[in-house]
């Protein structure tokens, strides 16, 4: 006699919605206004272009393991659920009322995580640690964090571009993060400093590494560390390209469609470079996998 696994019983979504309609109504009431605010705000900027991608792929990461979730799900502790909602709901209202989008989105994610714990249990929450962590990249980075972190990045990128183009004979000078070339004055903004690409590249790089190399945590950490210099190098090239366009063709050309096009090309090139490095480092990945297997033996 051969034992076979019982077929998974499909979920009756209509019956589930009718049984828990108050919860569904509350979730929609919180979710829709936030999605509209994100679409009109952070997701319309270069720093937030990864947001919709993270939402879609993050939900896919969860849904693809639906059978595993249903196999181990048990209701969570009521006290923990109440405590989570007691924090999440007032915080969401505060963020929504005072237009603190980062607080609003953080509270919304906490509310959904709390509800997931209530119905599915802590074991499922622990099992879904990566999708939960990955979805946190949807939270917009506060402006004061951008200002604090991008300042040294802007100075570093400005210095690299100035020194590089000066070595090639271009009449370029720098004062802080402002570049002067042939009578033109260019300010290296946050979008050109690397942080925006750094956040997006890290999010997409995380997804790529988790899907293909998730079992090798040492190699995964090494690849994530490479995202930072790759993003900075790519954006240094971007700034240099815009300076050269300004010098040869004028400011109007550099600040037109070529500015946004350069950003897209830079991001795509950096992402492809990560894939290329991953391919070239196959021997290192295999060596680290052998170390992990030896330690587990």
Instruction: Cite the beta strand spans of the chain per DSSP E.
Output: 172-175, 178-181, 184-187
Q: Which of 121, 102, 90 is nearest to 38 (CA)?
A: 102
- Asked whether 93 and 100 are in contact (CB, 8 A), the reply is no
Model pLDDT, residue 225: 82
**Catalytic-role residue among 174, 213, 238, 285:** 238
Known catalytic membership, residue 96: no
DSSP string, 188-239: --HHHHSHHHHHHHHHHHHHHHHHHHTT-HHHHHHHHHHHHHHHHHHHHHHH
Cα separation of 117 and 119, whole Å?
A: 6
Model pLDDT, residue 264: 74
Model pLDDT, residue 17: 66
- Asked whether 143 and 205 are in contact (CB, 8 A), the reply is no
CA dihedral (85, 120, 135, 277) positive or negative: positive
Cα separation of 26 and 31, whole Å?
A: 9
Would you call 187 helix, strand, or coil by DSSP? Answer: strand
Known catalytic membership, residue 238: yes
Domain ranges of the chain: 17-138, 143-288
Q: 244 exposed, middle or buried (CB, 10 Å; 0-12, 13-18, 19+)?
A: middle
Model pLDDT, residue 162: 92
Q: Which of 59, 100, 236 is nearest to 165 (CA)?
A: 236
Crossing angle of helices 257-280/195-213, nearest 10°?
30
**For 171-220, how does the pLDDT look when each residue is reduced to its tens digit (9 = 90+)?**
999 988 888 888 888 877 655 555 666 778 888 888 888 887 665 667 77
**Catalytic-role residue among 174, 192, 213, 285:** 192
Residue numbers in the chain where pLDDT is lower than 70: 1-17, 189-197, 213-217, 254, 256-260, 288-289, 292-297
- Asked whether 202 and 137 are in contact (CB, 8 A), the reply is yes
Model pLDDT, residue 5: 44
- Asked whether 55 and 135 are in contact (CB, 8 A), the reply is yes
């Amino acid at each position: 006699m051969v034992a076979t696994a019982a077929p998974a019983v499909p979920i009756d979504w209509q019956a589930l919605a009718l049984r828990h309609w108050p919860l569904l109504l509350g979730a929609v009431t919180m979710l829709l206004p936030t999605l509209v605010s994100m679409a009109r705000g952070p997701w319309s900027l270069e720093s937030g272009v990864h947001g919709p991608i993270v939402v879609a792929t993050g939900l896919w990461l969860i849904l693809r393991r639906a059978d595993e979730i249903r196999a181990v799900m048990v209701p969570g502790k009521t006290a923990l659920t109440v405590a989570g909602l007691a924090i999440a709901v007032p915080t969401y209202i505060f963020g929504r009322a005072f237009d603190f989008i980062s607080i609003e989105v953080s509270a919304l994610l906490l509310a959904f995580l709390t509800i997931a714990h209530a119905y599915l249990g802590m074991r499922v929450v622990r099992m879904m640690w990566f999708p939960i962590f990955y979805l946190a990249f949807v939270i917009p980075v506060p402006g004061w964090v951008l200002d604090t972190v991008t300042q040294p990045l802007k100075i570093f990128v400005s210095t690299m571009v100035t020194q590089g183009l000066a070595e090639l004979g271009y009449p370029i000078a720098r004062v802080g993060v402002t570049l002067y070339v042939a009578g033109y004055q260019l300010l290296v903004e946050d979008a050109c400093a690397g942080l925006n690409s750094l956040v997006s590249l890290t999010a997409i790089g995380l997804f790529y590494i988790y899907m293909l190399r998730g079992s090798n945590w040492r190699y995964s950490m090494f690849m994530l560390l490479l995202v930072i210099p790759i993003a900075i190098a790519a954006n240094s090239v971007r700034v240099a390209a815009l300076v050269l366009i300004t010098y040869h063709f004028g400011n109007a050309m550099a600040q037109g469609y070529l500015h946004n096009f350069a950003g897209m090309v830079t991001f795509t090139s950096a992402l492809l470079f990560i894939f290329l490095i991953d391919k070239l480092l196959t021997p290192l990945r295999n060596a680290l996998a052998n170390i992990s297997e030896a330690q587990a033996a």
